[in-house]
Amino acid sequence: MNLNQTRQIHYRLSELEYQKLATSASQIGLSTSAYAKKLALRSKLIEPKFNHADAVQLNLALARLGNNLNQLTKQANQGYYVEPEAVSALRSEVNTLWQQLR
């Protein structure tokens, strides 16, 4: 064991998943754990588009927009008049948020 390798990762597999991993590992002459490590280290990770704080803020903004849309929809479905300015403002907020997501 390499002395620099002090961290461990534990994960669970179904029997079928384990058998597939073990079969692939044995075909190239590696232990199951060495093969899993090799697969993990050579995989290409996708960098997140947003950091955690930005993702939380976007999620809150989406939730607020959804709530506003639901309120306007309920109002319209109950036969009440919906101000065009309210719909326009909501559309503007959606467009602004959409631009942030791009």
| 65-97 pLDDT tens trace | 999 999 999 999 999 999 999 999 999 999 999
Q: What is the mean pLDDT of residues 50-77?
A: 93
Q: Is the pLDDT of residue 1 over 70?
A: no
| 4-35 pLDDT tens trace | 888 998 999 999 999 999 999 999 999 999 99
69 within 8 A of 90, measured Cβ to Cβ = yes
Centroid of chain to Cα 90: 25
Report DSSP state, residue 47. Answer: P
Q: Where are the domains of the chain?
A: 1-45, 52-101
Please report where in the chains the tokens 């669970």 appear, as a residue. Answer: 12
Residue 19, classed as helix, strand or coil, is helix
